[in-house]
Structure 1
Amino acid sequence: MAKVRMGMVGGGEGAFIGAVHRWAAALDGEIELVCGAFSSDPEKSARSGAALHLPAERVYPSYQAMIEGEAALPAEQRMQFVAIVTPNHMHFPVAQASLSAGFHVMSDKPATFTLDEALQLRELVNETGLLYGLTHAYTGYPMVKEARQRVAANQLGSIRKVVVEYPQGWLASAEDEADNKQAAWRLDPKQAGISCCIGDIGVHAANLAEYITGSHISKICADLTPVVPGRQLDDDGSILLRFDNGAKGVLMASQVSVGEENALKIRAYGDQGGLEWSQQEPNTLWLKYNDRPTEMLRTGLPYLGTLAQANTRTPNGHPEGYLEAFANIYMAFAGQIRAFESGCVADERSVDCPGINEAVRGMAFIELAVAASNSEVKWHAFPDHQAT
């Protein structure tokens, strides 16, 4: 069976996340990068494509040229989906053009620049019937999937408290922005949108809380701040949460937490037990109780559920980390594409992939958090953009 063919927009020289997407997509040997428009600068795009050993005729000066050029190729040669790894402001136009031309889309998050764009994108996905994936990669970890299945099986009872935190320290001072391409666009409203911290990492924390608990955030009370003087966008945020099942929660996201690396962590407490998972110790899931000893579950062991096992590659004791979790998102999406093109129903593993509804909820969360922080009203209801 031939590999699924991927084109990429963005992710050229000097970019961070583009390489992560390429490594993840290639990990299982199911996806092949066949073309790209790697920069808005045609010369940089050409250099990046050459460094990736792509044929010169499949390296394009713009995303528009790539979509047009690929659409003109025979079906068995052209790309099947587009991976979007640009700054936020370009996510929607590239996704819109790709879907309109008949190509599936995998996008970095947040999905779009605004919520209105995300809603337009969902309409287009529904109209075309094409596939859309979103790289909320932390849901790809085996033990996150195990946590989700344990909650769904009611092993913790009714969830009533969620605490999720995502502290980083890489933007703790103005000097951290100097000559840093990744910092520059995230702090620029013209490229990042209305939020830096919440748009970049807070939305990951919110998505993780909803994924594990199986409940949706229904109301928030937010306090977002640009801690470092001179910044236009937030670099720190504290948010109170209410969920549609009655649970209450706390979300903290910060990029000025000195000494922290990428310390995403979640705790969820039901009326019968609790769980704890940390991204920096991803192979371990803790289950906690009042009436018996705490349990430590580990990746790769036979007592885990079907989704955790399906997303584990190595024997227990061999670390599975960020790239593998990212690869699980791509592997699921490749499975969806194969099912789509063969007219079959996608299997459980392939369906378990963030999509257009997570895209809409993510943008709604970002805009609501900013609006709530700017308001004197305490609680703000999550907008009712029904999944379709």
Structure 2
Amino acid sequence: MGRKLRMGMVGGGRDAFIGAVHRMAAIMDGEIELVCGALSSNPDKARLSGEDLYLDPSRVYTSYEEMIAGEKALPAEKRMDFVSIVTPNHLHFGPAKMAMENGFHVVLDKPATFTLAEAKELKKLIDQTGALFCLTHTYTGYPMVKEARQILASGKLGKIRKVYVEYPQGWLTNFREGSNYKQAAWRTDPKRSGISGCMGDIGTHAFNMAEYVSGLSVTAICADMNIVVPGRLLDDDGAVLLKFNDGVSGFLFATQIAAGEENNVKVRVYGEKGGLEWKQEDANSLLVKWLDEPTQILRAGNPYLSSYARAGTRTPAGHPEGYLEAFANIYRNFAFTLRARLEGKTPTPEWLDFPGIDAGIRGMAFIENVVKSAASDMKWMPFEE
């Protein structure tokens, strides 16, 4: 191809947190450039956001419909290759659908859609159009999370017995949506976030980590959800007992009212011969705990790691890589896979290691199943898609 992949963006204008993160992640490896955007539905804000990013004024749009139509009308050598959608949840499906129907590939912020039905419809569209689709479940981009998955898949720890995953935050300990706080306002609003707050926002990350690292699938759940802060409309705290295939049990908790916590994501998996533990606060380390031997501390950047972990590491051992680099790994794998497709080549297994629509459907099913379970008197409910 001899060029960078061209990205358009829906959402992510001035004052938008996640849009800036997506842009930094996308450009980190020099594979992608931002060429256009529908950065806000407010014309003035869209224009100013485009100026902030030095975009061609003719390619700064005020709606995703205008952007997709405008880009499709451009010559093939100029138009965007894919669109990154970084809007609140209720605005995920529409632009993703239109983009794929018009020949554009899609990167979508999680959770995939507003409802499970929409996620299933996206899968049909992906099958029909052949579009490449990526869902940004960031934490699976960490090298040592990938290493954990490879160790468990190798059988070195024996048959898996227990899976624990947690995601505590404290930023919603107070009623912040009552102030002029954009992030709190939309994430706690059922009309924009969906039927769940905490479980939809960060519980889906924990769920994705549990299934990705273990390689197992949840088959049944027993859930509890809470609204701790008075006046809040959606859950800000919850816990879920899990049953996986192959007779494995587990536990997931996610909360946004754990005062003092930031983003303390943690996963632990135990097998017959030992266990492993990874936490975001020490992301370069993976603990492997053996039954009859001393605990090992595996470190990112070392040659003894799997090809999946090495492919996701940019710096020598001892140089910390964190959230932005993990996010960039999702974009890089997507970009390498898309470039291979456009050049008629076969992507490597390492490049294909990014979340897709199946992870999106599982995440939306998790939200709907947890809400259903929490409202039920049944102890266990089957996990249904």
Query: When the two structures are superposed, what TM-score results if normalisation uses the length of structure 1?
Result: 0.98
Q: Tell me whether 1:357 sits opposite 2:358 in the alignment.
A: yes
Q: Tell me whether 1:4 sits opposite 2:12 in the alignment.
A: no
Find the aligned partners of 2:178 and 2:225 in 1 and give their Cα distance. Answer: 20
Inter-CA distance 64–175: structure 2 relative to 1 (3 Å threshold): closer
Unaligned runs of 5+ in 2: none
The alpha carbon displacement at 1:344 in A equals 2.0
Give SS of 2:355's match: coil
Q: Tell me whether 1:227 sits opposite 2:259 in the alignment.
A: no
- In the other structure, the counterpart of 1:99 is 100
- In the other structure, the counterpart of 1:87 is 88
The alpha carbon displacement at 1:182 in A equals 0.4
- In the other structure, the counterpart of 2:381 is 380
Give SS of 2:347's match: coil
The alpha carbon displacement at 1:341 in A equals 1.3
Give yes or no for contact 1:171–1:177 (8 Å, CA) kept in 2: no
Inter-CA distance 42–176: structure 2 relative to 1 (3 Å threshold): closer
- In the other structure, the counterpart of 1:170 is 171
Give yes or no for contact 2:168–2:264 (8 Å, CA) kept in 1: yes
Q: Deviations over 1:96-133 (max 9, x none)?
A: 01101110000000000000000001000000011110
Counterpart of 2:75, as a letter, is P
Give yes or no for contact 1:28–1:331 (8 Å, CA) kept in 2: yes
Give SS of 2:308's match: helix
Structure 1 segment 6-21 matched on structure 2, within 5 A = 6-21=7-22
Counterpart of 2:286, as a letter, is L
Give SS of 1:351's match: coil
- In the other structure, the counterpart of 1:142 is 143
Give SS of 2:92's match: helix
Find the aligned partners of 1:29 and 1:273 in 2 and give their Cα distance. Answer: 40
Q: Tell me whether 1:297 sits opposite 2:298 in the alignment.
A: yes
Structure 1 segment 194-343 matched on structure 2, within 5 A = 194-343=195-344
Give SS of 2:350's match: helix
Structure 1 segment 112-131 matched on structure 2, within 5 A = 112-131=113-132
Counterpart of 2:57, as a letter, is A
Find the aligned partners of 1:302 and 1:259 in 2 and give their Cα distance. Answer: 36
Find the aligned partners of 1:277 and 1:171 in 2 and give their Cα distance. Answer: 25
Give yes or no for contact 1:42–1:62 (8 Å, CA) kept in 2: no
Percentage of matched positions with identical amino acids: 59
Structure 1 segment 142-161 matched on structure 2, within 5 A = 142-161=143-162
Q: Deviations over 1:278-334 (max 9, x none)?
A: 011100000001200000000001110100001100000000100000000000000
Give SS of 2:240's match: strand
Counterpart of 1:320, as a letter, is E
- In the other structure, the counterpart of 2:188 is 187
- In the other structure, the counterpart of 1:108 is 109
Find the aligned partners of 1:337 and 1:75 in 2 and give their Cα distance. Answer: 16
Find the aligned partners of 1:176 and 1:95 in 2 and give their Cα distance. Answer: 28
Counterpart of 2:8, as a letter, is G
**What is the root-mean-square deviation in Å for CA atoms of aligned residues?**
0.8
Find the aligned partners of 2:127 and 2:103 in 1 and give their Cα distance. Answer: 13
Find the aligned partners of 1:4 and 1:175 in 2 and give their Cα distance. Answer: 39
Q: Deviations over 1:332-368 (max 9, x none)?
A: 0001111221222211222101001101111000110
Matched residue count? 384
- In the other structure, the counterpart of 1:55 is 56
Give yes or no for contact 2:186–2:192 (8 Å, CA) kept in 1: yes
Find the aligned partners of 2:112 and 2:82 in 1 and give their Cα distance. Answer: 16
The alpha carbon displacement at 1:176 in A equals 6.4
Counterpart of 2:263, as a letter, is N
Give SS of 2:121's match: helix
Counterpart of 1:134, as a letter, is L
Find the aligned partners of 1:340 and 1:103 in 2 and give their Cα distance. Answer: 13
The alpha carbon displacement at 1:175 in A equals 4.2
Unaligned runs of 5+ in 1: none
Counterpart of 1:85, as a letter, is V
58-67 or 338-347: which moved more? 338-347
Find the aligned partners of 1:81 and 1:374 in 2 and give their Cα distance. Answer: 40
Give SS of 2:216's match: coil
Find the aligned partners of 1:350 and 1:328 in 2 and give their Cα distance. Answer: 9
Q: Deviations over 1:215-274 (max 9, x none)?
A: 011111000111111111100001000001211001010000000000000110001110
Q: Deviations over 1:56-81 (max 9, x none)?
A: 00110111000000000111110000
Give SS of 1:348's match: coil
